[in-house]
Structure formats: structure tokens, C-alpha cells
Structure 1
């Protein structure tokens, strides 16, 4: 690739370009690898006025459900909304043929939340001493959805 072939996308189109890259990657992988259906799962909980209270978003591939995003409004944490959304997302993933779920988080409170939901660590990425941000850690977690 020459310098003139490089295109830097403006921030406003990053999401669209990222989606286009992902779609092309998944299409090329599907030709090379046998896999289960690639599906997107998005669940939300909204207040009666429409305000977003919580949401989970993920994709299925190769029999796994990847939880990409999970968020609960600060005022509604520890009310069961997050647990309910995660359980519903996992059920939908199972119905699409997924045997397991995986995710990553760098939030210690979220790590504890996922542990309570039955997820376990399968990897950890930590910043070495002297590197910023100090003490940063990302946990990679998985959960069996359908026992063998």
C-alpha cells in the first residue's frame, strides 16, 4: 500500500467503516471455516419515557456468544436488570446453537458481576509495572451455556 492508498476516515464514519470491515472479515472467514450462524443479539431495558436503563449487545460465531457491550445505568445497578438481560441474551445464544459465551472487561465491579453469573477467567492482560495506566487489567472470561 502506498501512502496515497491510505485513507483516514473522519470520526463521524468510524462506526459505519468498522461495521463494513467486520462484515467483510466475517464473509471471508465463512468461506474458510465451518461455523454456526453469525447472529447479532441486542437487548435493552428502557424507562416508560424511553430513556435507556440498560443494554447488552453481542454476536454469535463458531458456537460462541461474544458479549461485546453490557451497560446498566448507575441508578439501576444491583436491581437485577443486568442479570435479567444477560440471562436472556445467553438463552437466545443457546437457541442459536451456542455452547458457550465469552467477554472481556477492565472494570473490577463488572468482573465481580460476571463471576456471580457463572463466568470464569481464562486470561488476564495486565500493564507491567511502570506503564500507564498503573494497575490496569483486562479479564477475559467465559461461561458454558450448554454442557457437553
Structure 2
């Protein structure tokens, strides 16, 4: 038996950790569906100029990334991307959405969309705050 440490783990090494944890969680969580989702905003040639990605996990939508090209910001595209993925999640039976955003990113934007902050990590990872935000999809 030995320990090994690396700052460059291989994909299959990370997969071994994930699969081991999933096996441990299975008796507690059961077979909860985890479905990746994404929605894109693109020009006439198909070039992606914005997008949102995440996953429906059980009866929650978890948003991982929301991006709009800087030339198109403040035109409502981010809100429309968010609305589209929320509608899909609602149709899949989700009752809530979880996301996180840094203090230099989009907390006011998300608050305008109906999200509220439930936790903040201060000075994370350094000189910024990371806000965890949720929104109910049931009350709409």
C-alpha cells in the first residue's frame, strides 16, 4: 500500500475517484437522473456568441456556466438563455435552480432574474467572494 500525489492527474485517475464516490453514494441517493443541458445563442453562420450549460440533477437544475460575448452584453441575451434552460428544467419536474457566481461577475444580474444568495465564501479563491444562489421554479 502506498500514497501517490500528482498535480497532473490523468482523466482515468479522476474517473476512478468519481466512480468510487458514486458507488458509495448510490445506496443513499438511488438512481437519481443526471442529464447535461446546454442552450446557445449563435449568429446566422452558427458561430456561438453565448451559451448556458449545466445539468438537471434529480429535481434541481444546476447551472455551471453562463456566457455572452462582450459585444452583446446588456441586450437581454443572458436572461433569455436563463429563461430557456429554466423552462426545460421546469418541464423535467425541477423545483429549484442552483448556481454560483463571483463578486466580479453577475450577482446583480441573477438577482434581477429572481435568484437570491444563500451563501457567500469570502476571499475565495483570493480577493473575491463566491456567491451561491438559488431560485424556486415552483412559484412562477
TM > 0.5: yes
Separation in structure 2 between the aligned mates of residue 73 and residue 27 of structure 1, nearest angstrom: 39
Cα distance change, pair 47–28 in 1 and its aligned pair in 2 (3 A) = farther
Separation in structure 1 between the aligned mates of residue 17 and residue 91 of structure 2, nearest angstrom: 23
Cα distance change, pair 125–116 in 1 and its aligned pair in 2 (3 A) = same
CA RMSD after TM alignment: 2.7
Q: CA deviation at 1:79?
A: 1.2
Asked if residue 37 in structure 1 is aligned to residue 33 in structure 2, the reply is: yes
Separation in structure 2 between the aligned mates of residue 65 and residue 97 of structure 1, nearest angstrom: 10
Gaps of 5+ in 1: none
Instruction: Map Cα deviations across residues 39-68 of structure 1 (whole Å, 9 max, x no partner).
Output: 111111111122211100011223211101
Q: For residues 68-87 of structure 1, what are the structure 2 equivalents within 5 Å?
A: 68-87=64-83
Separation in structure 1 between the aligned mates of residue 17 and residue 55 of structure 2, nearest angstrom: 11
- Normalized against structure 1, the TM-score is what? 0.77
* Paired residues of 1:58 and 1:69 also in contact (CA < 8 A): yes
Q: CA deviation at 1:32?
A: 2.3
Q: Of 124, 132, 137, which residue of structure 2 is paired with 1:145? A: 137
- Normalized against structure 2, the TM-score is what? 0.81
